[in-house]
Structure 1
């Protein structure tokens, strides 16, 4: 895709967009400040040949509302002059491996910021408390930045940013383990919540059940304990629930399936759940992916699952289930997604798996290449 520029009716450039590996080369010149009277958005995405530092003159683009620096070859530090972009609404700094240093405290001056994403960075130091002044934030992503001390981010964010709709915190390395703060219930606009590998302990708080707009809840790779709380079943708009790789226990309540009827993805793998799969699983008419591997679930796969017309992925490796996969259910599944046994990935040999008379750990499978 070639670079794009957008002009207003007077011929002034209001936006520059360099997207999808169009091989832009060289450095970002300080003369970019000459566009300060008109430029509203500046986007560099997948431009690994764009090198050199981020010019401080970018702070003169005072009409800028959108700044995206994603997957570039830019290096050096983030300019403190970013704090001069007072009308900035959307800031993305992602996959820039040669950008280092700390997060400028001046970013706390961006009072109009509604969307902030810092993804896979090599920045270091503490996450600045000045961010707590950004009361208008609706989207906050802080993912895979191992050098940042983000120990206080979760309690600070849920205690202060009550307009949030999307919160994604992935891979925390500093600080002690902590529970999900009960103040999470204040985030009434939340539709997307991810706390992945964030050193979470304790149980799922009842207050989560108050987030009635929530559509996606992702909490894998933590040490969450306890059973599935009844309050969770009030989240009737959920289409994705991922609780894998925790320490949860107990049985699967029928309400998980009867009340969360919009679910398309359900991951409860690598937990300590026991008991059988409730027959109510057949009520999840939109379910596409069901992952239950490495659990203590027992019994057979309910025949009610035959009603799941959209199901394409069923993962039951290393569970204590017995019996056979219903033949008609095998015929519905994507052969590449039917993972039958073992700690590795397996594929079904035949185009339509032949499952009658075989056990769950004896399907016609071969290791994936």
Structure 2
């Protein structure tokens, strides 16, 4: 035995003198940096039982008489090299071969039909070459074959019925070729089949009904073909299945609820088909699920909350469908991002998912505020009232109710939803949810227990030290910088003033009230409006011409900065030109 494996590093050609070792039985040279052609006398050591040159940089052609001198060879491994030329027919003379591994080389031409004479073969790997032509019909003579890999070649024609006669076949890999026609109906005969990969071919027609009787199969990839038809309820028969990929086909109809019976399934992809109907509640029973991709279909309805029970789910993609309703928030959904849900009809949920805020019922708000009792009243604004309330979850919130008799209030509701539902910053008031119907519109926001900056500036019961004032102004500067430069669409607040700055329990400032804010389109530095901000805080060009720009927010910020440190409003006499000051 001569063993020179990846535990050492050898360079250069294989010495031809190795061919003089006439009693050598095992030659193991895998995982080195050997290069160049292999001398023909190395392939004529008649006592060899195992010859492994895999994972090197060997090149050139295999000797045309290979096999003639290898009467005792059981395994020939030339995998992952740079061999070229045709696979010699003489290789069939090595009649005791059980493993023939020629994958990941540059072999070309057809698969020799005489390989059918290697009746002892258990494992045949010709993947990753440049082979063309048809699968030879003689392959049905390999009755003991268990593993067949022809992936990544240029093979064409049909997936022949002769494969179904290899009853011991456990893995069949034919991906990334140019096979046409339909999937053989006789696949049901392969009762030992565990893995099937027919992906990235040109297969058409429906998946044969008999396919769903392969009860011991653990992995199936039929993606990137032109398969049509529906997914039958019998899919639940594949009880051992761990991965199933039917993506990039033309499959129609509903996903059958019986799919929930696949409790060993870990990866499921139905991406880019024409599926419709609801996502079955039974998905919640697929307790082993780690990856789920149903994107780019016509699925409708809501996302079942039962999916929250899939504790092993690491990836989900439901984008580009017609889904609506609230995105579940429990279990694995706490870790998913907006990309999992984009381009649906009407989804709502957490702001970080870039969808409409989750909706809260009017009845829940009524209960949470004791019927909007006066004791929960926080204040009155231009477009409505604000109340304190408690949601059914126990969370304390502020509820902004819009006056529907004012046209501007309706516009303000839409603006606030558009402007800040998709924003995330520690110094912006977070919208938690909304409640909207014909007669009632409200936004549910995080509650700020320390009230407004205005209250702290002008109430005798509150006092801010100089450091607190400085930190508050830094917080608001950070919020404005994010609005102007940190979001995908720049936003101009238009109404920066102390009453729109709210303070949380740690006295961190949060900018609120986006009711008259404006979104600047791509490359626009300013727009015009007829909606006016608060006198004293708005920039001169805003008041006189209705010009809205980020510079206007900066102007308002400067006015507020002066107010915070002087405790004088901008309309105070001390700021009016020509009037005497007591300072």
Report how far residue 123 of structure 1 moved. Answer: 2.3
Report how far residue 333 of structure 1 moved. Answer: 6.1
Is residue 245–residue 269 contact of structure 1 (8 Å, CA) maintained in 2?
yes
- Structure 1 residues 187 and 365: alpha-carbon distance in aligned structure 2, compared to 1, 3 A threshold: farther
2:335 aligned residue:
352
1:267 aligned residue:
245
- Structure 1 residues 120 and 33: alpha-carbon distance in aligned structure 2, compared to 1, 3 A threshold: same
Is residue 28–residue 54 contact of structure 1 (8 Å, CA) maintained in 2?
yes
Distance 1:365 1:127 in 2: 52
1:247-272 C-alpha deviation (Å, 9 max, x unpaired): 11111100012x11111111111111
1:170 aligned residue:
151
1:276 aligned residue:
254
> Whose Rg is larger?
2
Is residue 168–residue 193 contact of structure 1 (8 Å, CA) maintained in 2?
yes
- Structure 1 residues 206 and 266: alpha-carbon distance in aligned structure 2, compared to 1, 3 A threshold: same
Is residue 127–residue 150 contact of structure 2 (8 Å, CA) maintained in 1?
yes
Q: Which of 67, 73, 86 in structure 2 is aligned with 1:102?
A: 86
1:172-199 C-alpha deviation (Å, 9 max, x unpaired): 326xx42222222211111111211232
- Structure 1 residues 329 and 42: alpha-carbon distance in aligned structure 2, compared to 1, 3 A threshold: farther
Is residue 114–residue 138 contact of structure 2 (8 Å, CA) maintained in 1?
no
> What's the Cα RMSD here?
2.8
Distance 2:248 2:96 in 1: 42
- Structure 1 residues 100 and 183: alpha-carbon distance in aligned structure 2, compared to 1, 3 A threshold: closer
Q: Which of 125, 132, 135 in structure 1 is aligned with 2:116?
A: 132
The within-5 A match list for 1:192-341 is 192-257=171-236, 259-327=237-305, 329-330=307-308, 332=310, 337-341=315-319
Distance 1:123 1:308 in 2: 43
Distance 1:100 1:111 in 2: 23
Gaps of 5+ in 2: 321-331, 355-583
Please give the TM-score of this superposition, normalised by the length of structure 2: 0.53
Structure scoring higher RCO (CA < 8 A, sep ≥ 6) equals 1
Report how far residue 87 of structure 1 moved. Answer: 1.0
Secondary structure of the corresponding residue to residue 309 of structure 1: coil
Is residue 36–residue 61 contact of structure 1 (8 Å, CA) maintained in 2?
yes
Report how far residue 298 of structure 1 moved. Answer: 1.1
Gaps of 5+ in 1: 1-13, 343-348
- Structure 1 residues 157 and 206: alpha-carbon distance in aligned structure 2, compared to 1, 3 A threshold: same
- Structure 1 residues 318 and 26: alpha-carbon distance in aligned structure 2, compared to 1, 3 A threshold: same
Q: Which has the higher strand share?
A: 1
Is residue 250–residue 272 contact of structure 1 (8 Å, CA) maintained in 2?
yes
Report how far residue 110 of structure 1 moved. Answer: 0.5
Distance 1:252 1:104 in 2: 44
1:64 aligned residue:
48
Q: Which has the higher helix share?
A: 2
Q: Which moved more, 1:51-60 or 1:308-317?
A: 51-60
Report how far residue 215 of structure 1 moved. Answer: 0.9
Report how far residue 79 of structure 1 moved. Answer: 2.6
Secondary structure of the corresponding residue to residue 70 of structure 1: coil
Is residue 324–residue 359 contact of structure 1 (8 Å, CA) maintained in 2?
no
Secondary structure of the corresponding residue to residue 233 of structure 1: helix
Please give the TM-score of this superposition, normalised by the length of structure 1: 0.82
Q: Which of 104, 118, 129 in structure 2 is aligned with 1:145?
A: 129
Distance 1:24 1:285 in 2: 48
- Structure 1 residues 156 and 17: alpha-carbon distance in aligned structure 2, compared to 1, 3 A threshold: same
Report how far residue 116 of structure 1 moved. Answer: 1.2
